[in-house]
Homo-oligomer: A and B are copies of this chain.
Amino acid sequence: MGKEEKTRLGEQELELLRFVTDRAPVTARDAVAEFGQSKGLARTTVLTMLERLRKKGFLLREDENPPAKYRPAQAKSEVIQGMIADFVERTLGGSPVPFVAYLVQSKSIKAEEAEQLRALLNELEREDAD
Please give the residue numbers on chain A whose beta carbons come within 8 Å of chain B beta carbons, in ascending order. 8, 11, 14-15, 18, 77, 80-81, 83-85, 87-88, 90-106, 108-109, 111, 113-114, 116-118, 120-121, 123-125, 128
- B102 near A85: Cβ-Cβ < 8 Å: yes
Expressed in whole angstroms, the minimum distance between the Cβ of A105 and any Cβ of chain B is: 7
Cβ of A14 and Cβ of B100 under 8 Å apart? no
Task: Considering the complex, give the chain B residue whose CB is closest to the CB of A82.
Answer: B102
Instruction: Count copies of this chain in the complex.
Output: 2
Secondary structure class of chain A's binding surface, majority of residues: helix
Contact A99–B84 (Cβ < 8 Å) = yes
Which B residues lie within 8 Å of A100 (CB)?
Answer: 103, 109, 113, 116-117, 120
The interface centre, meaning the residue of A80, A124, A128 with most chain B CB atoms within 10 A of its CB, is A124
* Besides A81-B101, A100-B120, 12 new A-B residue pairs in contact (Cβ under 8 A), listed by A number: A14-B90, A18-B91, A77-B98, A81-B105, A84-B99, A87-B91, A96-B108, A96-B113, A97-B120, A100-B109, A104-B120, A114-B121
